[in-house]
Every structure is written in structure tokens, then in C-alpha cells.
Amino acid sequence: MEIRRVAVIGAGVMGAGIAAHIANAGIPVALLDIVPPGADNRNVIADNALSKLHSQQPAALMHRRNAALITAGNTDDDMGLLAGCDWIIEAVVERLEVKRALYRSIEAVRAPGAVVSSNTSTIPLRDLIAGLTKGFAEHFLITHFFNPPRYMRLLELVSGELTRTDAEAAVRGFADRALGKGVVKCGDTPGFIANRLGIFWIQVAVAEAMALGLTVEEADAVVGRPLGIPKTGVFGLSDLVGLDLLPQLLESMLRTLPENDPLRARAEIPELVSGMIAAGYTGRKGKGGFYRLSLADGVKRRESVDLDTGEYRATAKARLESLDAAADGGLKALLAHPDKGGEYARRVLSQVLSYAAGLVPEIAADIPAVDEAMRLGYGWKFGPFELIDRLGSDWLLQRLRAAGAPIPRLLETAQGRSFYRTAGGRLQYLAADGRYCDLQRPDGVLLLADIKRRGGPLAANRSASLWDLDDGVLCLEFHTKMNALDPDVLAMIRSAVEIVPQRHKALVIYNEGSNFSVGANLGLLLFMANIAAWEQIRERVEEGQQTYRALKYAPFPVVGAPAGMALGGSLECLFHCDSVQAHSETYLGLVEAGVGVIPAWGGCKELLQRWVVNERRPGGPMPPIVKCLETVSTATVSGSAAEAIDYLFLRPQDGITMNRDRLLADAKARALALAGNYRPPEFREMHLPGLTARLALGMAVRSFRLSGRASAHDEAVALALAGIFSGGETDITDSVSESDMLALERDAFMRLVKTAQTLDRLEHMLETGKALRN
Amino acid sequence: MNNIVIAGYIRTPFTAAVKGGLSQVRPDDLAVAAVQALLRQTGVGDDAIEDLILGCAFPEGEQGFNMARMVALLAGLPQRVGGVTVNRFCGSSMQAIHQAAGAIMMGAGEAFICAGVESMTRVPMTGFNPMPNPRLAEKIPGAYMSMGETAENIARLYEISRSEQERFAVTSQQRAARARGEGKLAAEIVAVADVQADGCIREETTAETLAALPPAFDSDGSVTAGTASPLTDGAAAVLVCSEAFAVSSGLDVLARIRSIAVSGCAPEVMGIGPVISSRKALQRAGLQMGDIDIVELNEAFASQTLACARDLGLDMSRVNIDGGAIALGHPLGATGARITGKAAALLKREGGTFALATQCIGGGQGIATVLEAV
């Protein structure tokens, strides 16, 4: 069955977010909620939820036009809409009788074969379907989304004994490919995987911090970054999800948890926390939580709760010797350190990891499912079993034995072996029977991490490597810090241009960092500018131009496959690819203006060309130039891949992949499709208006500066851009070549980089990570 | 010599560009609505019309193709009636009236439709492809100066404070709101696309709300969105004919055209343009400012209106008595026909003897028309 139309019932934060994300997949979706007593507008709840979607940050919609795919309605008048839906998602209040009553009215209108699922976070499936028809149960699942649904990749899926496999497969396939979710099959157990472990982790980490006398800053610093957990740690995370939500989840789970479950012994809500909830300090949505922004005397201050007194005080950076040790020696050094930070890490990790080891196969069929759930649902860099491998399962065993704690069977089964290993070039995991099994990736999932397990790269230097993806396709990977582009990356691109044609057909540029690349290495640029190495800077600029030009005109197709940020010089790289297959969550932009320079690796040239040849743009010589100037002078960054097409950072014919794990396979397929009868692109010479355009743009820029919307150096940068986009001193009857454009970029770059204001901007960006408006 | 009269005036509602009710109406369709309404209202036979003269400040895109001819055809005028689009920026449709007057005077026609239109939604100010001459920009930097900057220049030169500008803007809004409330504007408006009334007027404007606005053009300046005319969509049309034709056809004559003038000034203070053109027109009419009962002075900006009033010694109780462009809106090409038609209609309604319609023009010009009651 193909899912072509969806309904979401319950227009709360989760329901609306789920509906928005289904719209992001291009699928029409009805969003229904009840008619509040006495309401004039019977759709008022869904309507309000829809209007909130537009202003929500981070944005729930990948493109504002997606809102048109969502139809608001109510459960009194619009249940008929469900008859046309292939998937009906229930996201109403966590009350069993309310859900069951709703299911009965859904059952009355549901089309044959349509799947119904609940977004419950705590109620077991067997309770939800009790008393409903067999036909309903056969088409019923739990699909548990995480908040916010657009960004949190985890989807926990629970099916019942009666659930038809085709119903499950339809939802699983849609969630995977269309919604981009990492679908993890869970047992029908309380809190499923992520919240079962996650809530245990929070309870333990809060209680131990209090027991050991750590401050919230210290606790978050220890359980955050060193453990590969988001830097919100445990207290910051509580603020984020809401202090009041945790006791509710816990209470609901306690109703069905096994009698001897270790979470029962950890279920107490500290007095301090219940006091905060009662007083309205429920976290970011309330008056504040463990942290808050105080605005006393008009000055913004970050404050934290003192865990002893319950009073707010100024937030202080955590300073512990164990943290310094962790900064140098990593997790093991942290755990070996005798101070209270080390002890805290030891206590939290040993309890959480042994709890996890005790839950398989109850909550999930195998350990990779548990690890995946914690990575995708809680943002952990490593799942619990990956963490055990990092510490050594012996370490954990010894801790547990020393404490006289029970040893989970899985840990005994491991017998000191790792939970994962690479064998025969393949990743394997330890199954419950003590044997290693190959980790199976779904069809259409290709990971560079797996490619790397098979052997070394074809070519590599400090900053980039070239891998063989088979079938004649090579993959160029950046691997510098934040994937910043440096001379070695450029050198590897040039090597790829040499190597690919020898025995291969196509190239994909891709990596598995959090960001495709943040752009050129600014530290290097600032260093050269500070020693006035202008000639070297000019050479670097020219080197980038020549490298990208070589990539563009290479005799084989190149597909860029970005995910995350693709800024500055890396977007210029994508501009020179034949095609792009982007992850839906790609944020692209030419942000050079923020540091007082302009895109000079062919970015201005390529963006202008795209606008000039764009058939849907307004006519005349000025509109493409105006568009480019607006986009680049304001350092516009797209909020998604879909939005990037509006700016022509991507072209309508480029591809978008919703599931991050499918990006490389999609990009490879695209590269192979281009490889038959490949002909390199041609640059269309452009007729540009020259000085008159620069003058017209200069007038507009001047108005911006006068009215205070642009700073003095903003104006200087924009004027430099205006000079490039208008074609320099050309006349409309002359044609401007690719080389002409590159020369204009170089000259403008060199003029700006020699100004004190640009150096100030560079320095400020490197020091603070923020743009200076001088 | 032929006397020339204005024998009809009508306009579409004026609504805000982009967000207003007329944003989806093409400018040529807007002009057609005004022209057809003018013919209906005056009852003039279209066989007597010599030419359709249509003012437009940015005659490109949907305002291109010699829009006047297209409007004549679309409005169903006989094919032998001509059509010419004229451009003197904001003075375009007052210029249309002047050209008709000149033609009638030399016996080159008896009756002319003089109209103006601008959709500032659909054709942006400065047009789609602004391409100024770099040589001129070097020679006379003010030639292409933005209108907002010229308004700031005037405010500084004449030391007109922000609060003074805002007091004036409040008056303009109050007068327009009152006129609308009393049905005085409905008399000159023909509904288009279900839009019945003006959309720009902000009745709720007070000195306090204006004082809260940020400067619009110069962060150190005094001109805000509240003391500038808004970007507007709209069209206006007047019937200009010889007095003999009007009498023999039994038309309802609003006023006689007594004199006309245009003048130039420094581009960077273009807002002062009306001073010289008004003085020239008055002199040609043999009149003093004190003889004028009704003044329609286009409010491009409050600063510029107040500066002109000061130099011309205007009695503000006679100026823009139904509100001006700050409240009503300023669809560039349509404004000249509106204020000239309005001055003629007011002369009749208020019972005065002489009226003056005048406006400033980007690039540094002024244009003026003196009218006389019949």
C-alpha cells in the first residue's frame, strides 16, 4: 500500500508538528482536534496550531508553501475526511478511555486497509486495542515520534500480535523514505526504548548530582560532552522537555513496569524538583528551570539553581580537574579521575549502562536497536552498548561486582568481548546468544562508515580522502575540523579529477560529519592577512577557482551530497558539481559577507549564471543581478534544502533525500545516471550591463546604509559584490566570460581583504563565532 | 482663443500597494475602469473624443506597450480615438491635462480624456531594470537621488521638525477620514473589483503613533513611513474640453483652466518644485496667492508640503481640505489627474473663485495648474 493522504488527530504540539512534517514530505494531511465548548470557529484548535507553525522556531515547515498541504478540521464535523486517508495518526491526550472512544469513531469511517497508529509515549499497545475489533487491531500500530518531529530522527514503532505485516511495512517504508525517520522496532513495553532508558538516565543523573554535591553546571559538563551527550547534559535537557513532563511520564510508566525494574528504585522526584514544578519553574516553557535567563535591572544574565538552597545564582562555568582530564584524555581519563566529577561519571554510567544491558531482548530484539534509539531520540553520539565498548565491558563488570550489583545476563554473555566488532570488513554486533551477527542495512542505505570498514582509501591526505563506492563511483570525503576547506582539501579535489577517469566513472562529494562544511578555513586567511602575505592570498583564491573549474569541466559527472551546513566555499564547490543530491536538512548559503569578503571561488559567477539562465525570473538585465546581490550581501542561509531552491543555491532538478542514511546511495545512483553519455557543462557567456547596474545597485545599497539597515562596511562589501554581478566595466553588447567573472571576484576579494574592517570581522568571527557589524 | 474646461473627474479607490485590494488588478484594467466611469458620468459621446492621454511614471511591464492605446481599445473607445502615454513622473497626468489644453487651444481637438494610472504593486518604483547613466551620476549626484533622501534634505534645509511633520500628517489623515465619513470621497470614486473605498487612510493615526515610528530613509533623519505618502495602486481620469463644446454638449463644467506651468529645480530638493511652477502659473493668470480659495498640493512628503506652503505663503485651511496623499495614497501617474480634478470639483462644491493644483516631481521639477470657477 502506498501512503498518499494522512490524517493527524490531536493538534497539540506533537500532532501539529507531525502534520507539518508530513506536509514536508509533500503529502496532504488533515489535522483535526475537538470543538471546544462554545467556540464560534469550530476548527479553532487546529487553526491556531496551523498559524503557530508559521512562526515556530526552529521552523516546523521546510518551506512555507507546505502549509497549504495541511487542512484544519474538527472531530465533530470532519471525521469523513478520514475515509480518504491511508494513515491515521492519533496524537491526543494520554488517556486510555479518550483514545479508545476515538478509535471506535475512526473505525466507523476508516477505509479498508487504512492504518491507524497512536503517538502514545507510554501506553502499551495491548491496552489500546483492548475491546476493539480484530479488523482494527490488524491495522493498528504505535508510532512514537520525538519532539520536534521535523528534527528528531527517531520513530519508535510497536506492532501487536494481530498487526498485519503489510500495514506495518507501509508505515515503516513511508516513515523511512518520505519522513526520513530512523524507524526502530520496539517491544510493547513501558516507555519503549528511548524514554525507558532516557528517563532512567535523567533520574539517576539528577539524584547522583545531588548526592555528590555537584552544581548543575558541573553535572551537565560531566555527563554532556565527555560522554558524547548533547551539551545540555541532564539539567539542561530537563529544562528543554519540561520539568513537569518527566513525573507524568514516570508515573505512567510505573503503572506497567515490571515489579523488579531498577527504575522503580529510582522513581523518586526530588523535593527540590517538585517544589520548582509547583512554583511554575517548569523549564524553558515556564518561568525557568534549572537554568533561566534573568532580566533583572534590564541586564540579561544566565542563572542556575543552587541544588542545596533552591535559589537562583549566576551561572558559573564548571571547573573540575576531571573535566580538564577529559578534555585531554577523553572518557577513560574522566572515569579514572578521583574527584567528584569522575565519581559522578562512574556512578551514572555504571547504573545506566547496566540498566540498558538488562533490557535486551525485553525492549528491543537486539542491541543496535537500543543504540540507534538513543542516538536518534536523545542525540547521544554513542548508544549505551557503544559506550560500553568504549570503556571495555570489563570495566563495567568490575564496577558492578565491586558494588555487589547484579550482573545483567547480556554482560555475562559478552564475557569481556566487545558488543560490536568489524569482521571481514563488516560491522557485527553481539546477539543475545553470544554469537556475532552482521548488522544488516536496509536496501538503499549506504554509509561511508561501512565503506571505511572494508579497507583504506584510494588516496588520502590530512584533510580529505577518496573512497571507492563500487560500481565505478568514488567518494571524496572532507575530514578537517568542522570540515573547513584548506589547501589539502583542494589538493584532494584535484587528485580526484586525475584519479577518477583512470578506472572509474563518476565522483560523489560527501561526508558523514554533522556539517558538509562550514566553508574555507578563516584562521588560515586571517593569519596570511596579518602578515600581509597578499600575494599568497591571491594565489589561494586563484587556486580555489582553478580547482573548482577543473572539477566542473572534468570528463566525468560529479554529484555533491551535502547534509547540515554547506556554507561559503563549500557551497561554491557544490555550484561546480553537475548535480546535487542534498539531505532535506541542508542549510546552504554564501556567508562570506559576514566576514567582510565575497565568494571568490567562482560562487558569484555560478550564482549569477543560474539566475541569468533561469527561465522563470523576471525579464531584463537587472533582476538576476539584484537577486544575487540581495542573497549574497545579506549572507542568506536557506532553512532547508527545499528553501535553497528559492535562492537557486540548489536547482529544481537537484535531488532531495529525506533520510540522512539514504543520502549516499541516492547520490551514487544520481552519479551513475549521469555517467552514460556524459558531457561536461558549458558556461553561457553573459551580457551584463556594467557600470550602470553598479550605479543602480549602489543607490539601493546607499539607501540601506542611510536608513540604518546596513553598516558602513556592509555597504563596502555590497558595492564590491555589485561590481562583480554587474560585470565590471563591461557594456551590455559585450559578453562576459567565465574568466572575466573570476578575475572580478579575485580583485574584489583582494580589495576587501586588505581593509581593516574586514580583518576586524575575520578576527571577531574566529573569536566569537558571530558576525561583526562594523 | 478657446477656453478650456474640466467637465468631469473620477478615480478608482486608492489602495496600498501589495497588501491592498487592488494589488491583483492590472494597471491597464484600473485605467479602463476610470475611463469608462468618466464617460458614463459625464455622458460625453465617445465620438467626440480626440485622444486618450494617459500619465504613468514607470511605463513598462504591464504599464508598457503605449498603455494609453491599449486602454482606449480595452475601454471600447472607437478605434479612431488616439492614445498616448506621457511621463513626467509624479506630474504625468497633470501633464496629460496640459497637453490636452494646448491641443484644444490650437484647434487640434475638442475633447480629451486625460487620465493617469500607477500600480506600484505590479511595476515597482524605479522599474524592473533601473539603469542610470554613470556619467550623469558623476556630474550631478542628486539626479538619481531617492525621494526619501530629498525629503530629508528639505526637512533639514527648512528646519522642519519631525513633530511638525507629524502634526501635519495627522491633519491629513483626519481630513481624509472626515471626508470619507461624510461621503465626500465616494462621490469621486468608482468601485473596481469589489473595492468600493480608499484603503490607505489611517483614521486612528495620532501624534503618538507617528512618534513611535523609526526613520524610514535616514537613521538620523526625521521622515518616517507616517510622514511620507504610501506606495499606492490607483487610477484617475478627467474630461478636458473646449468650453464651447462643453456648453453645446450640455456637460457639467467643474472649472475653467486659467493657466499652467512647469519648472525645474535642484534634484536633491525636488520637493520644493511646486513653489516656482505655482508662482509662474499665478503670474500667467494675473493672480496673487491671496486670490486662491482652494489649493491641492500633492503631499509626497510632509516636509516638502510644509516647505512649499511656507515659501508660497499658503493658508493651510485652504490646502487639501479633503486630505492629501499622505492619507489617500500617491499612485504616481494618477496623482496629477486626481488633484487637478479634485481642485476643480472643490471649486464647484465649496463655491470659490480660483483654485491651484500643484505637485513636485522626482529629478527636480514642479508643475502647476490654476483653475477658475465658471
Taking contacts as CB-CB distances below 8 angstroms, the residues of chain A near B219 are 706-708
pLDDT confidence band for B40 (50 / 70 / 90): very high
The verdict on A408 and A555 lying in the same domain is: no
- Report the 10 Å Cβ neighbour count for B351: 10
- Beta-carbon separation of A622 and B129 below 8 A: yes
d(CA A397, CA A390): 14
| Domain ranges, residue A372 | 194-430
Taking contacts as CB-CB distances below 8 angstroms, the residues of chain A near B126 are 696
Chain A nearest CA to B322, separation (Å): 32
pLDDT given at position A707: 93
The verdict on A345 and A478 lying in the same domain is: no
Q: Which three cell numbers stand for residue A587?
A: 542549510
Q: Cβ distance A551 to A493 under 8 Å?
A: yes
A127 phi and psi angles, rounded to 5 deg: -75, -35
- ipTM for the predicted complex comes to 0.84
Question: Does any domain span residue A682?
Answer: no
> Which one of B60, B131, B135, B138 makes the best mutation probe of the A interface by having the most chain A beta carbons within 10 Å?
B131
- Beta-carbon separation of A707 and B216 below 8 A: yes
Please choose, from the candidates A221, A244, A218, A233, the residue with its C-alpha nearest in 3D space to the C-alpha of residue A307: A218
Angle between helices A603-613 and A712-725 (to 10 degrees): 60
- Beta-carbon separation of B131 and A689 below 8 A: yes
* CATH number of the structural domain spanning residue A174: 3.40.50.720
**Mean of pLDDT values over A469-498:** 98
Question: Does any domain span residue A441?
Answer: no
Question: Does any domain span residue A165?
Answer: yes
- Beta-carbon separation of B128 and A619 below 8 A: yes
Give me the residue from B133, B214, B216 closest to A692, CB to CB.
Answer: B133
**Mean of pLDDT values over A105-113:** 95
- Beta-carbon separation of B134 and A692 below 8 A: yes
Q: pLDDT tens-digit profile of A578-627?
A: 999 999 999 999 999 999 999 999 999 999 999 999 988 888 899 999 99
Q: pLDDT tens-digit profile of A249-259?
A: 899 899 889 99
d(CA A17, CA A121): 15
Which helix (DSSP H) or strand (DSSP E) does residue B115 occupy?
A: strand B111-119
Residue A319 one-letter amino acid:
R
- Beta-carbon separation of A693 and B149 below 8 A: no
Q: Cβ distance A600 to A717 under 8 Å?
A: no
Instruction: Report the residue of chain A nearest B217, measured CA to CA.
Output: A707
Q: Cβ distance A601 to A569 under 8 Å?
A: yes
Query: What count of residues does chain A have?
Result: 774
Taking contacts as CB-CB distances below 8 angstroms, the residues of chain A near B133 are 692, 695
Question: Does any domain span residue A78?
Answer: yes
d(CA A649, CA A653): 12
Chain B nearest CA to A694, separation (Å): 9
DSSP state letters, A11-64: -SHHHHHHHHHHHHTT--EEEEE---TT-SSTTHHHHHHHHHHHH-SS-S-SSG
* Residue whose C-alpha cell is 553481539: A430
Q: Cβ distance A363 to A345 under 8 Å?
A: no
In chain A the first and final C-alpha atoms are separated, in Å, by: 58
Q: pLDDT tens-digit profile of B184-194?
A: 999 999 999 99
Q: Which three cell numbers stand for residue A52?
A: 503557530
A385-389 contacts, C-beta under 8 A, 24 or more apart: A385/A356, A385/A357, A385/A419, A385/A420, A385/A429, A386/A419, A386/A420, A387/A227, A387/A228, A387/A349, A387/A353, A388/A353, A388/A357, A388/A419, A389/A418, A389/A419, A389/A420
Taking contacts as CB-CB distances below 8 angstroms, the residues of chain B near A703 are 146, 148-149, 217
B124/A contact by beta carbon, under 8 A: no
Q: Cβ distance B367 to B261 under 8 Å?
A: yes
Given a cut of 90, whether residue A180 has pLDDT beyond it is yes
pLDDT given at position A1: 83
The verdict on A517 and A504 lying in the same domain is: yes
Using CA atoms, how far residue A718 sits from A486, A600, B126, B145, in Å, is 26, 14, 20, 18
Question: Does any domain span residue A84?
Answer: yes
**Cα torsion angle, A253, A256, A260, A261, sign:** negative
The verdict on A87 and A59 lying in the same domain is: yes
Give me the residue from B130, B131, B217 closest to A706, CB to CB.
Answer: B217
* Residue whose C-alpha cell is 516553557: A285
Q: Cβ distance B118 to B334 under 8 Å?
A: yes
pLDDT given at position B260: 98
Q: Cβ distance B200 to B20 under 8 Å?
A: yes
* Residue whose C-alpha cell is 502634526: B167
The verdict on A128 and A242 lying in the same domain is: no
Angle between helices B302-312 and B273-285 (to 10 degrees): 40
A610 phi and psi angles, rounded to 5 deg: -60, -40
The verdict on A44 and A143 lying in the same domain is: yes
Question: Does any domain span residue A159?
Answer: yes
Taking contacts as CB-CB distances below 8 angstroms, the residues of chain A near B217 are 703, 706-707
In the listed set A185, A203, A221, which residue is the last one of a domain according to the structure? A185
Give A477's strand partners.
A465
Instruction: Report the residue of chain B nearest A693, measured CA to CA.
Output: B131
Burial A639-674 (b: 16+ CB within 10 A, else e): bbbbbbbebbbbeeebbbbbbbbbbbbbbbbbbbeb
β pairing state of A579-583 and A586-589: unpaired
- Beta-carbon separation of A708 and B219 below 8 A: yes
Angle between helices A622-633 and A691-706 (to 10 degrees): 40
The verdict on A540 and A615 lying in the same domain is: no
Taking contacts as CB-CB distances below 8 angstroms, the residues of chain B near A694 are 134
Q: pLDDT tens-digit profile of B50-104?
A: 999 999 999 999 999 999 999 999 999 999 999 999 999 999 999 999 999 999 9
- Beta-carbon separation of B134 and A691 below 8 A: yes
Q: Which three cell numbers stand for residue B244?
A: 464651447
How would you class B151 by CB atoms within 10 Å of its CB: exposed for 0-12, middle for 13-18, buried for 19 or more?
buried
Instruction: Report the residue of chain B nearest A710, measured CA to CA.
Output: B219
Question: Does any domain span residue A336?
Answer: yes
The verdict on A101 and A151 lying in the same domain is: yes
Interface size between A and B, measured as CB pairs under 8 A: 52
Assign B336 to helix, strand or coil.
Answer: helix
In the listed set A156, A185, A214, which residue is the last one of a domain according to the structure? A185
Radius of gyration of chain B (CA): 19
Taking contacts as CB-CB distances below 8 angstroms, the residues of chain A near B216 are 707
Assign A556 to helix, strand or coil.
Answer: coil
The verdict on A332 and A237 lying in the same domain is: yes
Given B56, B90, B114, B265, the catalytic residue? B90
Assign B355 to helix, strand or coil.
Answer: strand
The verdict on A123 and A255 lying in the same domain is: no
Omega of the bond leading into A58 within 30 degrees of 0 (cis)? yes
pLDDT confidence band for A304 (50 / 70 / 90): very high
DSSP state letters, A410-453: HHHHHTT--SEEEETTEEEEE-TTS-EEEPPPPTT---HHHHHH
Helical segments of B146-242, H only:
147-157, 162-181, 207-211
* CATH number of the structural domain spanning residue A460: 3.90.226.10
B207/A contact by beta carbon, under 8 A: no
Question: Does any domain span residue A438?
Answer: no
The verdict on A162 and A93 lying in the same domain is: yes
Sequence-ordered list of residues with C-beta below 8 angstroms from that of B64, at least 6 positions apart, any chain: none
Given a cut of 70, whether residue B1 has pLDDT beyond it is no
DSSP state letters, B19-35: TSTTTTS-HHHHHHHHH
Q: What is the largest CA-CA distance in chain B?
A: 59
Which helix (DSSP H) or strand (DSSP E) does residue A118 occupy?
A: strand A115-118
* CATH number of the structural domain spanning residue A255: 1.10.1040.50
Taking contacts as CB-CB distances below 8 angstroms, the residues of chain B near A621 are 129, 131
B219/A contact by beta carbon, under 8 A: yes
The secondary structure of residue A174, as a DSSP letter, is: I
Q: pLDDT tens-digit profile of B68-78?
A: 999 999 999 99
Chain B nearest CA to A708, separation (Å): 5
β pairing state of B294-297 and B354-361: parallel
The verdict on A273 and A211 lying in the same domain is: yes
Angle between helices A603-613 and A622-633 (to 10 degrees): 140
| Chain A residues within 8 angstroms (CB to CB) of chain B | 618-623, 689, 691-696, 699, 702-703, 706-708
B98 tagged catalytic: no
Taking contacts as CB-CB distances below 8 angstroms, the residues of chain A near B132 are 692, 695-696, 699
pLDDT confidence band for B331 (50 / 70 / 90): very high
Sequence-ordered list of residues with C-beta below 8 angstroms from that of A300, at least 6 positions apart, any chain: A293, A294
B236 phi and psi angles, rounded to 5 deg: -145, 155
Q: Cβ distance A584 to A24 under 8 Å?
A: yes
Q: Cβ distance A698 to A725 under 8 Å?
A: no
- Beta-carbon separation of A696 and B216 below 8 A: no
Give me the residue from A619, A622, A703 closest to B146, CB to CB.
Answer: A703
Using CA atoms, how far residue A77 sits from A27, A31, A34, in Å, is 22, 13, 10
In the listed set A167, A185, A203, which residue is the last one of a domain according to the structure? A185
Total-model pTM: 0.91
How many domains are there within chain A? 4
pLDDT given at position A284: 87
B265 tagged catalytic: no
B360 tagged catalytic: yes
**Mean of pLDDT values over A100-128:** 95
